[in-house]
């Protein structure tokens, strides 16, 4: 049987060296597609495109993962730029916000990871905390801390216990977007997961990096939702 096809957003690095070449490259860490594959899905990478092409692109996939990465430009949630906010990733912001909007319009299952969760919140009219301490320690290395599920949420049904997760972020959800609820928190109260509570729609964001862990529960749930969305039997 065909595996559900999960689209994963990628991003452009202007200068990427491999072999004898140093060229602009569209990329995403391998852990994303490896986790999709481990969860029973097939992965396809989605390079940036014109925002108007989002619905067409998503018509070819069964689910969407919005990957982690740089800060969302605060212009998208009507805030002044904090000096600690990273430089804008304009092309990526426009493309991923368009993908999220198109996915929501099509009731396509969506998983936002780190920046992807923040972009999901912004796409639905929410705002972000532009800087907080304590959610990464060493540049280029994951930190680990516990997150506690909110009882009665989709995330809590998947991961009912407090879990240690790999984390690397300095921004977080502030005001929740339209219809979203918080479904997990860190010990300091930071929102660590968000979701749409509508049982007919599978939309979840996690602030940590499941692609850096061996726990497939969240990704397996996305793959199962993608299979149900297109009536693909799950092995």
Residues paired with residue 61 on neighbouring β-strands, in sequence order: none
Q: Are 88 and 41 in contact (CB under 8 A)?
A: no
Report the SS3 class of residue 220: helix
Residue from 135, 169, 209, 229 carrying the catalytic annotation? 209
Residue from 114, 135, 192, 229 carrying the catalytic annotation? 114
Q: Is 195 a catalytic residue?
A: no
Q: Is 192 a catalytic residue?
A: no
- What is the three-state SS of 33-47? HHHHHHCCCEEEEEC
Residue from 169, 192, 211, 229 carrying the catalytic annotation? 211
First vs last Cα of the chain: how many Å apart?
8
Structure tokens at 34: 């490896």
Q: Is 114 a catalytic residue?
A: yes
Q: Are 112 and 103 in contact (CB under 8 A)?
A: no
* Active site residue ranges: 114, 209, 211
């Amino acid at each position: 049987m065909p595996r559900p096809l999960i689209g994963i957003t990628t991003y452009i690095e202007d200068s990427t060296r491999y072999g004898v070449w140093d060229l602009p490259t569209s990329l995403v860490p391998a852990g994303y597609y490896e986790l999709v594959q481990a969860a029973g899905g097939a992965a396809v990478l989605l390079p940036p495109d014109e925002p108007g092409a989002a619905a067409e692109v998503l018509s070819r996939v069964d689910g969407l993962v919005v990957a982690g990465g740089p800060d969302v430009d605060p212009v998208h949630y009507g805030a002044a730029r904090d000096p600690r906010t990273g430089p804008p990733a304009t092309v990526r912001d426009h493309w991923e916000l368009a993908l999220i909007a198109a996915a929501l319009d099509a009731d396509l299952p969506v998983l936002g990871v780190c920046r992807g969760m923040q972009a999901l919140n912004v796409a639905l009219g929410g705002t972000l905390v532009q800087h907080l301490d304590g959610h990464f320690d060493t540049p280029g290395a994951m930190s680990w801390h516990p997150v506690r599920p909110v009882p009665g949420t989709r995330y809590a049904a998947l991961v009912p216990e407090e879990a240690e997760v790999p984390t690397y972020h300095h921004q977080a959800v502030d005001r929740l977007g339209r219809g979203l609820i918080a479904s997990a928190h860190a010990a300091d109260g930071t929102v660590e997961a968000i979701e749409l509570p509508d049982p007919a729609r599978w939309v979840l964001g996690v602030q940590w990096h499941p692609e850096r862990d061996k726990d497939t529960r969240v990704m397996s749930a996305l793959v199962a939702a993608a299979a149900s969305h297109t009536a693909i039997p799950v092995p």
